[in-house]
Structure 1
Amino acid sequence: MKVLVIEDEKELREVITQSLEKECYIVEQASTFKEGINKLAGYDYDCILLDIMLPDGSGIDLLRELKSMNKEDSVIIISAKDSIDDKVLGLELGADDYLTKPFHLSELLARIKSVLRRKNQQGFQSLKWNNIEIFVDERSVLVDSHAMVLNNKEFELLYYFVVNANRLVTKSSIAEQIWGDNMDEADSYDFVYSQVKNLRKKLKNHQADVNIQSVYGMGYKLTNE
C-alpha cells in the first residue's frame, strides 16, 4: 500500500515515514503545496496524510484540488489546528478522517488501517477473491485456508491485483504502486515481469483459483478465467 505524507515539518514527516516503512508501506513525501499538487496530479495513493498549514498554501485547497480531479485516494487530515470548523470543512470536502497534533504514531497507524479497510475491504478484516483470503494487517495470505508465504513485493502485488480485479493494470501503475519513487531509477519494467512471474508460480503451486492474464504491450488483468 502506498501512502503520501504532505507535511512541512521535516522531523515529523521523517518520523511518520520511518514508522510507516517499518509496517511495509511504500511512502512518498511532499513538504509544500506545490510538491503536493504535483504528486497528486501524477500518481495515485491508497492514503494521503495531509497537513492543513503548508508554507505556500492550504491543505484544504489541496483537498479541493484532489476532489476536482475525481480521484479516490483516501485522505486523513493531520493538523495542529483543533478547530471544529476545520474538521467539519475537511470532512465535508471528502476527507476520510481528521487527526489533531500531537498524536501517537500507533493511533495514526490505526486510523490508516481503518481507512483502508473501509475503502478496499468494505470494513472487513480480510479481502477475499475465490479461494484466496488476504489479511492485510497481518500481511498474510490463505489459499483454501492454507498459508501461502509471500515476500513483501509479492504480497503488495497480489493485494493490488485483487483490489483491481477484472480491470487492466498497466506495468507503469504496478511499478508506481509497489515501488513508489524508486521506480524512477529503473530503465525498464523487467522487474515487474519478474515479480509477476514469481507470484503466478506460487499461486499455481498452491492451487489458487485465480488467473493473472497478460495484456500484450500494456499490463495485466486478474480474472476468474
Structure 2
Amino acid sequence: MKILIIEDEPDLLDVIRQSLEMEHFLVESAGTYLAALDKIVDFDYDCILLDIMLPGGSGLDLLRELKNLDKSDNVIIISAKDSLDDKLAGLNLGADDYLTKPFHIAELTARVKSVLRRKSFQGKNLVVIGNLKLDPEERTLTIGDEPLPLNRKEFDILTYMLVNKNRLVNKTSLAEHVWGDHMDQADDYEFIYSQIKNLRKKLKERQADVEIQAVYGIGYKLVRL
C-alpha cells in the first residue's frame, strides 16, 4: 500500500514515515503545496496524510484538486487547526478522517489501517477469493488453509492485484505502486517480470483459485479460475 505524507514539519514527517514503514507501507512525501500538487497530479495513492497549513498554499485546495481530478485517494487530514469549520470543510471536500495535532503515532497508524480496510477491502480484515485468504495487516497468505510464504514485493503485488481484481493493471501503475513514484522512468520492467514470474509459479504450485494473467505490452489482470 502506498501512502503520501504532505507535511512541512521535517521531524514529524520523519516520525510518521518511520512508523508507517515499520508497518510495511511504501511511503512518499511532500513538504510544500507545489510539491504536493505535483505528486497528486502525477501519481495515485492508497492514502494521503494531509496537513492544511503548507508553505505556498492550503491543504484544502489540494483536496479540491483531488476532487477536480476525480481521484479516489483516501485522505486523512492531520492539522494543528482544531476548528469545526476546518473539519467540516475538509470532510465536505472528500476527506475521510480528521486528526488534530498533537496525536499519538499509534492512533494515526490505526486510522490509516481503518480507512484502507473500509475503502480498499470493504471493511474486512481478510481478502478472500476462492481458496485464497490474504491478511493485509498481518501480511500473511493462506491457500486452502495452508500458509504460503511470499517475499515483500510478491505480497505487495498480490495485494494490489487483489484490490484491482478483474481490472487491467498497467505495468507503470504496478511499478509505481509497489516500488515508488518515478518508476515510470525505469529503463525496463525486468524487476517486475521476475517478481510476477515467481508469484505466478507459487500460486500455481499451490493450486490457487486465482491467476495473474499477462496482457501483452500493457500489464496484468488477476482473475478467478
Give distance in 2, aligned partners of 1:193 and 1:28: 24
Equivalent residue runs for 1:162-173 within 5 Å: 162-173=162-173
- Identity rate of aligned residues, in percent? 60
Report 1:7-18 matches (<5 A). 7-18=7-18
| Matching residue of 1:107 | 107
For the 8 Å contact 2:49–2:76, the answer to whether it is kept is: yes
**Aligned length, in residue pairs:** 225
Deviation (angstroms), 1:183: 2.7
For residue 102 of structure 1, give the secondary structure of its aligned residue in structure 2.
Answer: coil
Aligned position for 2:224: 224
Q: Matched residue of 2:181: which SS?
A: helix
Report the Cα offset of residue 92 of structure 1. Answer: 1.1
Q: Deviations over 1:61-101 (max 9, x none)?
A: 10010011000100000000011111111111110000000
Distance between the aligned counterparts of 1:216 and 1:101, measured in 2? 48
> SS of 1:181's equivalent?
coil
- Structure 2: which 5+ residue stretches go unaligned? none
Write the distance in 1 (CA, Å) between the matches of 2:122 and 2:190.
34
Q: Distance in 2 between matches of 1:41 and 1:181?
A: 12
In structure 2, the partner of 1:174 is 174
Please give the alpha-carbon distance, in whole angstroms, between the structure 2 residues aligned to 1:209 and 1:76: 35
Asked if the contact 2:175/2:184 (under 8 Å) is kept, the reply is no
Q: 3-state SS of the aligned residue for 2:103?
A: coil
Matches within 5 A, 1:59-78: 59-78=59-78
Is 1:204–2:212 an aligned residue pair? no
The Cα of 1:182 is off from its aligned counterpart by 6.7
What is residue 140 of structure 2 aligned with on the other side?
A: 140
Report the TM-score when normalising by structure 2: 0.97
- State the Cα deviation string for residues 154-180 of structure 1 (Å, max 9, x = none): 111000111101111011111000000
CA distance in 1, matches of 2:186, 2:106: 34
Distance of 2:210 and 2:2 partners within structure 1: 24
Distance 1:113 1:173 in 2: 22
Match of 1:25 in 2: 25
**SS of the counterpart of 2:147?**
strand
Normalised by the length of structure 1, the TM-score is 0.97
Secondary structure of residue in 2 paired with 1:124 = coil
SS in 2 for 1:99: strand
The alignment's C-alpha RMSD in Å is: 1.1
